[in-house]
Amino acid sequence: MIANTETPEEKGYRIIDLRGSGGYSDGWNDSPSRGSAGMRITPETALQCSTVLACVRLIAENVATVPLHLYRRLPEGGKERARDLPLYRMLQQQPNGWQTSFEFREMLTAHCLLYGNAYAEIRSGMQGAVSALCPLHPSRMRVEQLEDGTLRYCYREQNGTETYYRQDQMFHLRWLSNDSVTGMLPITLSRDAIALAQALETHGGAYFGNACRLSGLMESDNPIPIETAERLREQFERMHRGADRAFRTAVLPQGVHWKDVQSTNEASQFLETRQYQVIEICRAYRVDPSYVQDKTKVGYAS
């Protein structure tokens, strides 16, 4: 690790502007992006969308589950597992002092799916061999490029200081990139679909939490006092509310009629739009909707 105080603008360096890669204007991934639905989308808030959470978990957990082996090339051709190397055990079991191999790979894959990049510091032991891979949060990382094409990584610590790493000191996992240096942010590229899904979730919560929702009406041919109307409602609910009282025959006083209140077109379109947003977000992550528990399009032949 290089712990120096050189400024990023020192001669010989140029800062890669992350705006073209779905990043932010100051080079740090700490600013929210607002979708067309008016919702502010960040990698953290995007996880509040159940479809995003399901897609990220599905991919990250499956990648972390795949067995990881280190191989050695043989002089006569072919390969064999390099079980005698310390790096083999580190990659397969414990890449650092606090994470298992599963947790490490799951975390880096999730970072890549949310931030477009995942980083891990390559720590070396006394003899120069790799001793640990320590993950660094992508929201605190800025990538700079030397004139010779090599990369330098600037990491902002929690206390505000900046630590610089050479390219050979950093493991960098990129998502889809348009500049070959940093990955684009999937959350930014899909922000409109995610923002609409979250706006629908917020609208649905407000609708069912605050709106008046009726299943039916009792209509009378003649005006009736409020006390009488309240008594009729209580008697009707006492006789017919609950699954064990369903489908009973209703007996209403003379001049009183029952009228069903059907679901409106707006409510039906609301549900259809919510289902469509599941497909939109799954499309961005190339995940079949059935893998995130959306069974609307699943048939018996699936």
E strand or H helix at 143: strand 141-146
Given strand 117-124, what is the order of strands in its sheet?
Answer: 130-136, 117-124, 170-174
Enter the tokens of residue 182.
């940093």
Per-residue pLDDT of 115-127, as tens digits, reads 999 999 999 877 7
Per-residue pLDDT of 204-253, as tens digits, reads 766 665 555 566 777 888 888 888 888 888 888 787 776 666 667 777 77
Q: Which residue has the tokens 């609950």?
A: 242
Per-residue pLDDT of 136-173, as tens digits, reads 999 999 999 999 989 999 999 989 899 999 999 999 99
Of 62-66, 90-94, 262-266, the poorest mean pLDDT is in 262-266
pLDDT reading at 177 higher than 70: yes
Main-chain phi, psi angles of 195, to 5 degrees: -65, -40
Of 111-120, 123-132, 291-300, the poorest mean pLDDT is in 291-300
CA distances to 54, 142, 185, 286 from 177, rounded to whole Å, are 24, 15, 9, 17
Per-residue pLDDT of 72-103, as tens digits, reads 999 989 999 999 988 899 999 999 999 999 99
Any idea where the domains of the chain sit in the sequence?
13-185, 215-260
170, β-bridge pairs:
121
Enter the tokens of residue 2.
């290089």
- Taking every pair of Cα atoms in the chain, the longest distance, rounded to a whole number of angstroms, is 100
Helices (H), ranges, the chain? 43-46, 50-65, 86-92, 101-115, 186-189, 191-210, 226-240, 265-285
pLDDT reading at 59 higher than 80: yes
Alpha-carbon distance 101 to 105, whole Å?
6
The residues near 298 (Cβ < 8 Å, ≥ 6 apart) are 290
Q: What per-residue confidence (pLDDT) applies to 267?
A: 63
Q: Report residue 22's pLDDT band, with 50, 70 and 90 as the boundaries.
A: very low
Residue pair 134/170 in contact by the 8 Å Cβ criterion: no
Of 3-7, 48-52, 103-107, the poorest mean pLDDT is in 3-7
Enter the tokens of residue 66.
């795949």
Mean predicted lDDT score pLDDT of the chain = 80
Q: What per-residue confidence (pLDDT) applies to 174?
A: 95
Of 99-103, 128-132, 294-298, the poorest mean pLDDT is in 294-298
pLDDT reading at 60 higher than 70: yes
Residue pair 210/255 in contact by the 8 Å Cβ criterion: no
Q: What per-residue confidence (pLDDT) applies to 29?
A: 53
Q: Which residue has the tokens 């051709």?
A: 77
E strand or H helix at 27: none
Q: What percent of the chain has pLDDT over 70?
A: 75
pLDDT reading at 293 higher than 90: no
Closest by alpha carbon to 200, among 47, 45, 38, 44? 38
| Residue 301: HSE in the Cβ half-sphere, 13 Å Cα cutoff | 0
pTM of model > 0.75: no
